[in-house]
Structure 1
């Protein structure tokens, strides 16, 4: 596995901070009911080797999910790349974030302004030289990824391609969350307008069937602390209310002329409290 390079010196860097943070948000809000976090693998900008006959051919998806594999390679080490013929599992979802210059590569034949380039053609002309296929062709023909999603933060356009009959067919995307529902994973995806890691933007984010945004680990921790604080506040308020009721009961009993010792026994208050009530100090 590690004899294949983990970096491509000819690959350009990330175009902006969004392209660094958006994959993190997808991974941190991913909660699958059928798979534990230790039984699925997510990655971004990681070399994905897809063809054993051309072992150096690779693509680097902006984000991808593989289910049914351990998070750690062989259960003990983080991956430096993902080699499908060694792992035995192909990606189940791939997401690409469009940036200037990547549209033709990411969209292939679905890009209206470009002719798809395949491994058999170059610049629209047949070629005898074997060249690596484009991303769409790899995801569709080589990896057969069931769900391919493309999002542009510049236009806020979300596109969803589903593998049907061996080829991708574009699906209708809703206007509200879940804009995309992946029934086999029981999870949805939508565009969330908010702030993540200090950056306000329109982000792709996982949600449930009702459109409720799934929380990051940090948000879950904050929610847990807030729920704990509210529970303590409810307990404190309940104790104060119970104490107030006991004091009022003691006042009423004293008003009837009942002896202090009897009031103490009935109200279960201290001697000091009842005597203070009797003296008008409480």
Structure 2
């Protein structure tokens, strides 16, 4: 995290998000349908227990600028989240990109969805020449020091998680495909279910009790189901009361037929 004086200096002398490009059509790894759906499921279920929505920023396929000496260098994670930062840029505008020298807070977790064109770089298996920008792995591990780096391969359904330990990433041994992040009171794991009409394994967040966090659409559906259950319960109760009334009427009629005075 940057000091306040550093932030003020950088805002005066370095490019802002309005100065740098927000996308590059030449960038490899163009999104497929899975790359469209999966990040939004992560965004909809990311609710840290100790941060309000106004104290965090979630980005999908957004330029992440990281080097004050090379202000044009950036990485473009499939999904990342920053906690302890204003939801809006300078509390007033939606972001075009995320510039660490302007924001002062680095991402807390980055998720990359493997694709054939980006797999080696995502896993830190590529080499670079000295004059070239660092790889994603180097940026996340050594420059931004992102505490959690998550990699998911939808073709093999393999989930890998790396946690920053000292100055290096250590791969976590996953007995089951879940990673708990104590600092935010959330876990990330593989969920078998239907999202956007597609049944498969999806990455999504879960709470401290191990329950999958619901999306707004699921919450709305649950509310509709509760309302329908309540309506059905009320209808059943009304029908039961009507049946009881009819039974009492039949009994009264039988007594009258037998010449029994109901008043007696």
- TM-score band by shorter chain is 0.7 to 0.9
The Cα of 1:210 is off from its aligned counterpart by 4.4
- Determine the structure 1 residue equivalent to 2:4: none
Tell me whether 1:139 sits opposite 2:144 in the alignment: no
Tell me whether 1:95 sits opposite 2:96 in the alignment: no
1-structure distance, mates of 2:63, 2:142:
18
Q: Which has the higher contact order (CA 8 A, sep 6+)?
A: 2
Match of 1:29 among 45, 49, 58: 45
Contact 1:174-1:180 within 8 A present in 2 as well: no
Contact 2:29-2:115 within 8 A present in 1 as well: no
- Determine the structure 2 residue equivalent to 1:230: 229
2-structure distance, mates of 1:42, 1:142:
20
Tell me whether 1:201 sits opposite 2:200 in the alignment: yes
TM-score computed with the length of structure 2 as normaliser: 0.84
Match of 2:74 among 58, 66, 82: 58
Which moved further from structure 2: 147-156 or 248-257? Answer: 248-257
The Cα of 1:243 is off from its aligned counterpart by 3.5
TM-score computed with the length of structure 1 as normaliser: 0.79
Number of aligned residue pairs: give it.
Answer: 245
2-structure distance, mates of 1:35, 1:251:
63
1-structure distance, mates of 2:235, 2:91:
47
- Determine the structure 2 residue equivalent to 1:154: 155
The Cα of 1:256 is off from its aligned counterpart by 5.2
Which moved further from structure 2: 59-68 or 11-20? Answer: 11-20
- Determine the structure 1 residue equivalent to 2:166: 165
CA RMSD after TM alignment: 2.3
The Cα of 1:15 is off from its aligned counterpart by 4.9
Contact 1:15-1:99 within 8 A present in 2 as well: no
2-structure distance, mates of 1:23, 1:235:
41
- Determine the structure 2 residue equivalent to 1:7: 23
Which moved further from structure 2: 33-42 or 90-99? Answer: 33-42
Where does structure 1 lack aligned partners over 5 or more consecutive residues? Answer: 109-113, 264-282
Which moved further from structure 2: 17-26 or 189-198? Answer: 189-198
Residue 232 of structure 1 aligns to a residue whose secondary structure is helix
- Determine the structure 2 residue equivalent to 1:269: none
Once the two structures are superposed, what CA deviation does each residue of 1:135-162 show, in whole Å capped at 9, x if it has no partner? 1111111111111101111121111100
Which moved further from structure 2: 200-209 or 86-95? Answer: 200-209
* Larger gyration radius, structure 1 or structure 2: 1
1-structure distance, mates of 2:194, 2:240:
40
Tell me whether 1:48 sits opposite 2:64 in the alignment: yes
Matches within 5 A, 1:239-258: 239-249=238-248, 251-252=250-251
